């Protein structure tokens, strides 16, 4: 899809060679001019960054990403290197790193698979296969278990019903099934939640949530919270939130990455980079509406140095 709600768009007039020369100059010799690096990389879109990398290699016989890695450090380095990752490979790369080595990063699996469209999921699987010569579904099932695993597999099929008209009788039926599988049952029939939340269309499910509230007196989130736990609970909640509103889900994800003591920089970077050309303007709007401060203000308060400067440029403005 053509996304138009990003904060980062194609820079004009664009000159890949001039940018490559400026970056080389910024990193050559003693000390690095971080300001130039961050200004160029946050104000060009991903396609343009790839052209800059290619011009950089043509002009200097050097790899731009390798140079960034050797000249920069810490969170700032992670952010700049993330910006350089080709857009189509971003999610596949994040998933690969979430399931490699000791321990699986369930948070990353949840965030990506709950929020991406069926077309995006198909694309991620294809790229994963090409880049890593491995089957994403096999990798994920090898590292997860139980109902959490089942719901991930359902989402990985990328077969959610298309949004074509809503059948009120089916809405009523699904809402009743969920009510009986959760609130009315001793123990929970998780499978019903997995099938309905993982396969019905977005517009259908939004109606189901309204109907569920009418029947049960509870928001579906309250029921999930009470009836399930652990990774499955987090994944079901993420799916429900993304069905209600993907930008609202990411606003909340960003908020909790910075709230309280310590910042979850991996999440902050991943969301800011991956949504910067998609819907970050909508995310900012939801953030302002739901958290009584702007995303810009929270980043300003919670980060520092060049890392902060770069994140604020990606954020693209305040909403006060």
pTM of the predicted structure, to 2 decimals: 0.95
In a domain, 212, yes or no: yes
Residue 24, burial from CB neighbour count under 10 angstroms (0-12, 13-18, 19+) = middle
In a domain, 3, yes or no: no
In a domain, 60, yes or no: yes
Alpha helices in the chain (DSSP H): 16-27, 34-43, 46-60, 64-71, 74-84, 87-98, 106-115, 118-132, 136-143, 146-156, 168-181, 190-199, 202-216, 220-227, 230-244, 246-258, 265-275, 280-291, 295-302, 305-315
SS3 72: coil
| Chain-centre distance for alpha carbon 83 | 14
In a domain, 226, yes or no: yes
Last residue of a domain, one of 26, 53, 87: 87
The whole-angstrom separation of Cα 287 and Cα 293 is 7
The whole-angstrom separation of Cα 80 and Cα 310 is 9
CATH of the domain at 192: 1.10.220.10
Asked whether the beta carbons of 28 and 71 are under 8 A apart, the reply is no
Closest CA to 272 of 218, 314, 215: 314
Last residue of a domain, one of 87, 106, 136: 87
The domain total for the chain is 4
- 320 residues of the chain, pLDDT tens digit each: 566 799 999 999 999 999 999 999 999 988 899 999 999 999 999 999 999 999 999 999 999 999 999 999 999 999 999 999 999 999 999 999 999 766 789 999 999 999 999 999 999 999 999 999 999 999 999 999 999 999 999 999 999 999 988 999 999 999 999 999 998 877 789 999 999 999 999 999 999 999 999 999 999 999 999 999 999 999 999 999 999 999 999 999 999 999 988 899 999 999 999 999 999 999 999 999 999 999 999 999 999 999 999 999 999 999 87
C-alpha angle 64-275-121 in degrees, rounded to nearest 5: 95
Cβ-based neighbour number of residue 52 at 10 Å: 24
- Do 176 and 222 share a domain, yes or no? yes
CA contacts within 13 A on the Cβ side of 277: 19
In a domain, 11, yes or no: no
- Do 232 and 262 share a domain, yes or no? no
Residue 93 belongs to domain spanning? 88-157
């Amino acid at each position: 899809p053509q996304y138009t709600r990003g904060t980062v768009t194609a820079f004009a007039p664009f000159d890949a060679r001039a940018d490559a020369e400026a970056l080389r100059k910024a990193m050559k010799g003693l000390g690095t001019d971080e300001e130039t690096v961050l200004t160029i990389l946050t104000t060009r879109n991903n396609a343009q960054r790839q052209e800059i990398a290619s011009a950089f290699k043509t002009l200097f016989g050097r790899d731009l990403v390798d140079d960034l890695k050797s000249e920069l450090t810490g969170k700032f380095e992670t952010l700049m290197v993330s910006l350089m990752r080709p857009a189509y490979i971003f999610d596949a790369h994040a998933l690969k790193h979430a399931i490699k080595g000791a321990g699986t990063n369930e948070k990353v699996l949840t965030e990506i698979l709950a929020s991406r469209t069926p077309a995006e999921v198909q694309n991620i699987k294809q790229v994963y296969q090409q880049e890593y010569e491995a089957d994403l579904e096999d990798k994920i099932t090898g590292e997860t278990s139980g109902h959490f695993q089942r719901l991930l597999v359902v989402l990985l099929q990328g077969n959610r019903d298309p949004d074509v008209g809503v059948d009120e009788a089916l809405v009523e039926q699904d809402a009743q099934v969920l009510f009986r599988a959760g609130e009315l049952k001793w123990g929970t029939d998780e499978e019903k939640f997995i099938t309905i939340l993982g396969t019905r269309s977005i517009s259908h499910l939004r109606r189901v949530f309204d109907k569920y509230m009418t029947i049960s007196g509870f928001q579906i989130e309250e029921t999930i919270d009470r009836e399930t736990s652990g990774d499955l609970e987090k994944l079901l909640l993420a799916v429900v939130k993304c069905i209600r509103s993907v930008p609202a889900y990411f606003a909340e994800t960003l908020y909790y990455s910075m709230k309280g003591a310590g910042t979850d920089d991996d999440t902050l970077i991943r969301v800011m980079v991956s949504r910067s050309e998609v819907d970050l303007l909508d995310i900012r709007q939801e953030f302002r509406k739901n958290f009584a401060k702007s995303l810009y203000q929270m980043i300003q308060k919670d980060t520092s140095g060049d890392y902060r400067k770069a994140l604020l440029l990606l954020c693209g403005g305040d909403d006060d």
